Amino acid sequence: MTVIVTDRGFAPDDWRGEETRTTTLTSDERAADLTERLSDLDMIRVSFSSFADGRGFTLARDLRRLGFTGRLRAAGHVLSDQYAMARRSGFDEVEISDDLAARQPETEWLSRADWRAHDYQSRLRG
């Protein structure tokens, strides 16, 4: 099972879209490869194989820059410390395993939910 993390905390997966309108990318794929299909997709999952691999964040940013307006989900090895970066790069939500949710409880994720206010540039300007 998995847990979906949003700015409001943990939630069950409520995605009920058609499988044909959803795709999963790995972090080594390129957003540009989906340019022709973006308007046909309702959700894109970006799979993180390791918390140390930040290419998924770049992929999310590139998908948004290409005009993708659907649901964008980071899935896999994303840590609570990375939640703010995930949201700033364009992800709407994060999908984690039940095991990770047990090790990093909802309170840890919620402490990073105010991702707009706690960015590096704002701290520099402050």
Is residue 46 pLDDT above 70, yes or no? yes
What would the pLDDT profile of 12-40 be if each residue is shown by its tens digit?
999 988 888 999 999 899 999 999 999 99
Q: Where along the chain do its domains lie?
A: 2-125
Measure the CA–CA gap between 19 and 119, rounded to whole angstroms.
35
- Which CATH entry fits the domain spanning 2-125: 1.10.260.40, 3.30.1520.10, 2.60.40.1190, 3.20.20.70? 3.20.20.70
Six-digit token string for 105: 């409880």
Q: Is the pTM of this model over 0.85?
A: yes
The side-by-side arrangement of strands in the sheet containing 93-97 is 9-11, 2-6, 93-97, 71-76, 43-48, 22-26
- Specify the higher pLDDT residue, 110 or 126: 110
Is residue 113 pLDDT above 70, yes or no? yes
- Specify the higher pLDDT residue, 112 or 124: 112
Six-digit token string for 95: 């999908």
Query: For residue 55, what pLDDT is reported?
Result: 94
Q: Please compute the mean of the pLDDT values over residues 56-76 and round it to a whole number.
A: 97
**Which residue is it, tokens 């820059």?**
65
Six-digit token string for 117: 């206010």
